[in-house]
Amino acid sequence: MEKPNNQEDFLAKWASGELSEEEVTRFKKSKDYILYETILEGTKLLDVPNVDRKELFNKIKNESSKKKKTIAFIPNWAYAIAASIALFIGYTFLFNQNTTYQSGYGEHISIQLPDGSEAILNAKSKLWYKKNNWDKGKRVVFLNGEAFFKVKHGNTFTVKHNNNSVSVLGTKFNVNVITDFFEVICYEGKVKVKGNSFSKTITRGEAIRNINSSIEEWNQNDISPTWIIGESSFKNTPLRQVITALEKQYKVTIQSNGVNLDERYSGGFTHNNLKNALHTIFDAMNINFIFTDNGTIELSVN
C-alpha cells in the first residue's frame, strides 16, 4: 500500500478537516481513503466508559471538607473547633482534673484550649493538661509526640515533657518530643526552650533540637509546619525519628535490620501514599525496603 502523502502530519490535517479541497479530492482517489474514513467512522461507534461525574464531585467535596477540617485553622478557625469535635476519635476524660487528647495512627486532632489557644496534634501524639491550673491562670500543657501551637497572648504558656519545656507569651510554634528527641520550631514571636542542660530563646524562623544531649540549631522559612497539610518534612533529622514519624502516620512497623539509624535525612514524605512515602525516604538514603508477610516493612542496605 502506498502512502497517501509523505507529509508527516497529513492524516492529522485530514482528520481535523484542515486540508484544502484540492488535497482532499486527491486523497479521496487514493487506495486507502475508504479505510481511513471507515476507521474514523468506526471510532465514533466506540464508547468511553461513563463516569457519574455528579457523584464524583460529591465525593471530592466530602473528601476536601474532611481534609479541610484538619487544616482548618489556616483559613478559618471556627471550622477547626467543629473539627476537633467531629474528628475526635481519641478521647477526653476528666480524671484527677486531667484533660487528655490522644490521636491515633495517621490522625490529626485540632484542640481548643480553655484560653482559646489552639493546638494541633500530629499522629499518635498525646496532650494533656490540668484544668485546675488553667482556672488559676497557669497555662501548662504536657505533650508526648508532636504538636503545633498557636497561643493567644496572656500569661506564660508552657509545654512540658519530662525535663524539657517550652515557654511563650503568645506565638506560633511546633514541638516534637519523643524519647531522646526534643525539637522546637518557632513560626512567630519568641519562644524560650529549656532542657536538662540548656536554655535558649529562639525567634521566628529559628529552630532548635536536642538529640541525646547534643544541641543543634538551624533556620527555616515556612509559616507553619508542613505536616498539617499532609506532608512531613525533615531537615537533617536522624533516620530514627523519620521512621518513627512514618510509623505513626501509617500504622506500620519498620524493621531496621542493621541500617544505621543515626544517618541524617533531609526531605519529606506524603501522608496519603505509603509506597510513595517509602520511596521518597529510602531511595534517597540508598536503602531497600520490602513488605513482609507479617505486615512489617524490612529495610536493608543497598
Partner 1 sequence: MTEKQKSICDEKTFKLIFDTHSEVILNFIYYKCGNMNQAEDITQDAFIKLWKNCKNVLFEKAKSFVMKVAQNAFFNEFEHKKVILKYNQKSLSSIQYEYSPDFLLEEKEFMKKLQLSISELPQKQREVFLLSRKDKKTYKEIAEIIGLTQKAVERRMHLALQELREKLGHSI
Binding site for partner 1 (CB under 8 A): 1, 3, 8-13, 15-16, 32, 34-49, 51, 53, 56-57, 59-60, 63-64, 67-68, 71, 75, 229-230, 272-273, 276
Pick the closer one to partner 1 by CB: 23 or 115: 23
* Nearest distance from C-beta of residue 278 to partner 1, angstroms: 12
With beta carbons less than 8 A apart as the criterion, state whether 101 and 110 touch.
no
| Residue 266, Cβ density class (10 Å: 0-12 exposed, 13-18 middle, ≥19 buried) | exposed
Pick the closer one to partner 1 by CB: 53 or 94: 53
Pick the closer one to partner 1 by CB: 71 or 166: 71
* Nearest distance from C-beta of residue 54 to partner 1, angstroms: 10
276-297 b/e (C-beta count within 10 Å ≥ 16 → b): ebbebbbeebebebeeeeeeeb
With beta carbons less than 8 A apart as the criterion, state whether 123 and 141 touch.
no
Pick the closer one to partner 1 by CB: 42 or 258: 42
Pick the closer one to partner 1 by CB: 120 or 191: 120
* Amino acid residing at 85: I
Residue with cell 467535596: 61
| Residue 208, Cβ density class (10 Å: 0-12 exposed, 13-18 middle, ≥19 buried) | buried
* Nearest distance from C-beta of residue 61 to partner 1, angstroms: 8
Pick the closer one to partner 1 by CB: 153 or 279: 279
3-state secondary structure (DSSP) of residue 91? coil
What single string gives the DSSP state of each residue in 109-123?
Answer: EEEE-TTS-EEEE-T
Q: How many CB atoms lie within 10 A of CB 102?
A: 18
Q: How far apart are CA 131 and CA 203, in angstroms?
A: 29
Residue with cell 474532611: 66
Q: Which of 122, 156, 159 shows the shortest CA–CA distance to 143?
A: 159
* Nearest distance from C-beta of residue 72 to partner 1, angstroms: 12
Pick the closer one to partner 1 by CB: 203 or 273: 273
Q: How far apart are CA 259 and CA 271, in angstroms?
A: 23
* Amino acid residing at 24: V
* Nearest distance from C-beta of residue 161 to partner 1, angstroms: 31
Pick the closer one to partner 1 by CB: 58 or 163: 58
Three cell numbers at 147? 504538636
* Nearest distance from C-beta of residue 284 to partner 1, angstroms: 16
* Nearest distance from C-beta of residue 241 to partner 1, angstroms: 26
* Nearest distance from C-beta of residue 152 to partner 1, angstroms: 24
